[in-house]
Amino acid sequence: MNKECEIVQDLLFGYQDGTLHAASKELVEKHLKKCEECRRIFSEMKKDEIEVDKKEEQEQEIDYLKKVNKKMSRKNSLLMVIGTILGIIILLNVGIFVYYYNEAGKVQIYLNDDITQEQMDDIKNTILKIDENAKFEYYSKEDALNKLKKTFGDNKDLLSGYSEDNNPLNAYYVVDTNVEKAKDIKNMITSLQGIKKITGLYDTNPYIFTFSKFIM
């Protein structure tokens, strides 16, 4: 290798980067035209630069794709969490309304002490016209008093003064139907003879009704 080749090869990096001053650039260009070895070295340098550029470009693309995938993964995870929460909320609401519809349809019909069998039959027949599958439970005055004593538990002695002769409670029906029919039943039998009062939970807020049942 002659002295000029050494000088030119030292200048090749600057020539490739475009940082040489005019005189050095001219020297390199003239030498490359006549020196095959230096042209080969310069050609290899350009290939290496292209490969480095490609590698950097690929790394940038990979980094970009990683960032996109990471964002998409976070977004998908968030959507999955939101979807799960919404699913739970929907199922919970469906469960609450189904439970309310089936359980809040009980109607308590309290009867006057002087009610006749004909009036009781009239009440029952009117209800069956609204819901032929309605279930009836009859509680006598004595049943009502015993249930109240059971509710009082350890304090049932407070009711010891009451007996069959002075029982202040009324006999009553419990009619088991659904919420909508319970409302219809109340409206239809309110004016019938022999009824003292009608109660039920069919007008209760479904959430309050369900919550109260599960904490009792």
pLDDT, tens digit, 9 for 90 and up, residues 105-128: 889 999 999 999 999 999 999 999
Are 134 and 192 in a shared domain? yes
Are 126 and 189 in a shared domain? yes
Q: What angle do CA 125, 131, 135 make, to 5 degrees?
A: 80
pTM for the structure as a whole: 0.54
Residue span of the structural domain in which 123 resides: 105-200
Across the chain, mean pLDDT equals 84
Phi, psi values for residue 150, rounded to 5°:
-65, -40
Are 116 and 31 in a shared domain? no
Q: Is residue 156 part of a domain?
A: yes
CA distance 149 to 161: 12
Please write the tens of the pLDDT for every residue from 57-90.
777 777 777 777 777 778 888 888 899 999 999 9
Q: Which of 13, 36, 63 is the last residue of a domain?
A: 63
Q: Is residue 78 part of a domain?
A: no
CA distance 49 to 32: 18
Q: Determine the angle formed by the axes of helices 179-189 and 117-130, rounding to 10 degrees.
A: 140
Q: Is residue 178 part of a domain?
A: yes
Q: Is residue 45 part of a domain?
A: yes
Are 55 and 121 in a shared domain? no
Q: Is residue 126 part of a domain?
A: yes
CA distance 91 to 85: 10
Counting the structural domains of the chain, the total is 2
CA distance 123 to 191: 10
Which DSSP symbol is given to 204?
A: S
Q: Is residue 192 part of a domain?
A: yes
CA distance 51 to 56: 9
Q: Is residue 46 part of a domain?
A: yes
